[in-house]
Homo-oligomer: A and B are copies of this chain.
Amino acid sequence: MRSKETITERFKVLQDSICSSLEQLDGRSTFHEDLWARDNDGGGGRSRVITNGNLIEKGGVNFSAVHGDLPEKIQNALGFGPSTFYATGVSIVLHPKNPWVPIIHMNVRYFETEGKEGDESTYWFGGGIDLTPHYVTADSGKFIHTKLKEVCDQTDAKYYPKFKKWADDYFFIKHRDETRGVGGIFYDHLNESKEQKSFDELWAFHQGVGEAFVPIYKHYADLHRNKPYTEENLHWQRVRRGRYVEFNLVWDRGTKFGLDTNGRTESILMSMPPQADWLYDYKPDESTPEGESLKWLKKDIDWLADA
Contact = CB atoms under 8 A, between A and B. Distances in A.
A269 B273 contact: no
Contact of A266 (B238, B250, B280): B280
Interface string A55-76: 0001010000000000000000
B277 A275 contact: yes
Given A242-B272, A245-B245, A51 B256 contact: no
Contacts of A227: none
Interface residues of A, number: 34
Given A175-B259, A275-B275, A280 B242 contact: no
Contacts of A238: 275
A103 interface: no
A33 B278 CA distance: 18
Contact of A245 (B49, B249, B270, B274): B249
A176 B249 CA distance: 14
How many copies of this chain does the complex contain?
A: 2
A253 interface: no
A192 interface: no
A277 B274 contact: yes
A34 interface: yes
Interface in A149-182: 174-176
A87 to B, nearest CB: 19
A281 B278 CA distance: 23
A99 B265 CA distance: 25
Contacts of A265: 175-176
B281 A34 contact: yes
Contacts of A175: 259, 262-263, 265, 268
9 contacts: A34-B281, A49-B281, A175-B263, A175-B265, A175-B268, A246-B249, A250-B256, A269-B278, A276-B278
Given A238-B275, A250-B256, 17 more contacts: A32-B280, A49-B280, A58-B278, A60-B280, A175-B259, A175-B263, A175-B268, A176-B265, A242-B272, A245-B276, A246-B269, A274-B277, A274-B279, A275-B277, A275-B278, A276-B276, A276-B278
Interface of A: 32, 34, 49, 51, 58, 60, 174-176, 238, 242, 245-246, 249-250, 256, 259, 262-263, 265-266, 268-270, 272-281
